[in-house]
Amino acid sequence: MTTSSNGFSQREGKLVVTALALAVMFLMCGSVEASRLLGSLASAAANISSTPPPPDSNTSKVPIEGRLLGAGAPHANRESDVLTLAPAPSVAPDADDLYSYQPTPQPESGDDSFMVHSTTVSAMQSNQCTYTIITSTGDIEGAGTQADVNVEFFDRFGASVLFVGLKSQNRNFNRGATDTFTVLGDCLQNICRMRLSHDDAGHNPSWFVNTVTISVQYQTRVFNVYEWLAKDEPPRSLSRTINSCPA
């Protein structure tokens, strides 16, 4: 406490000087006046000794914890000095922002219509082919028909694809006409056999067929028939099978 010690030394020096001055006055003024001055000096000295020392400027540099410990106070809790941040209040989105917060609607439990649709489309794209069927009707009297035509194609192993109810645009396979049909069916490679028939419906059901041509995936096969599909014309049958598969 260097500053406090210097302060007391200065005061003691002043008291000594004052005492010397009073001694001189005692000799000069007499005993009564000197006694009164000595009493005032003693009272001033008592006040000075009872006055607490001035605050030390260096104590302001001492941490609060050190001053508390020096004063006999309990040790400060270090955790109380930690600054705790309160959580930010949650702010509800504005009405204009509500749409962006809405999740994408999901199908309800058991609703697999989307999956079924996707599976069906995938199956059509991967397992089905586009067929072009061309029929040629003979140019003889009564060759055309109003019946519904069915045709089934086979590969050499017996696998087949069937098309039922082929109809021309005017519902008639007219005499000397060529009719073209584009249909979708299971893919079948290396077609080599055909079974052609009709349901014998309409006013003129008999049908004289020249040829049937099938095209699928850059493959084309022509089946030559040149017969009646009729009950009133030989061979009096409503179906005809043409087989050109290798033996």
Flag whether pLDDT at 128 surpasses 60: yes
Query: Which whole number is the average pLDDT over 53-71?
Result: 48
Tokens 């059509």 locate to 124
Specify whether 138 is located in the same domain as 40: no
Specify whether 141 is located in the same domain as 65: no
- Residue 83 falls inside a structural domain: no
Highest mean pLDDT (candidates 8-12, 66-70, 91-95, 198-202): 198-202
- Residue 81 falls inside a structural domain: no
- Write the single-letter amino acid at 119: T
Flag whether pLDDT at 89 surpasses 60: no
Specify whether 137 is located in the same domain as 52: no
- Residue 116 falls inside a structural domain: no
- Residue 75 falls inside a structural domain: no
Question: End of a domain among 50, 70, 90?
Answer: 70
Flag whether pLDDT at 104 surpasses 50: no
Distance CA 155, CA 161 (A): 9
Length of the chain: 247
Specify whether 49 is located in the same domain as 145: no
Query: Which whole number is the average pLDDT over 119-130?
Result: 58
Distance CA 89, CA 198 (A): 80
Note the pLDDT of residue 31.
Answer: 55
Q: How many domains does the chain have?
A: 2
Query: Which whole number is the average pLDDT over 123-137?
Result: 82
Note the pLDDT of residue 127.
Answer: 81
Which CATH number is 137's domain given?
A: 2.60.60.20
Residues of the domain holding 16: 2-70
**Confidence class of residue 193 from pLDDT cuts 50, 70 and 90?**
very high
Note the pLDDT of residue 247.
Answer: 81
Beta carbons of 150 and 165 less than 8 angstroms apart: yes
Specify whether 66 is located in the same domain as 133: no
| Percent of the chain residues topping a pLDDT of 70 | 48
- Residue 189 falls inside a structural domain: yes
Question: End of a domain among 28, 48, 70?
Answer: 70
Specify whether 216 is located in the same domain as 136: yes
Note the pLDDT of residue 172.
Answer: 72
Note the pLDDT of residue 20.
Answer: 74
- Residue 119 falls inside a structural domain: no
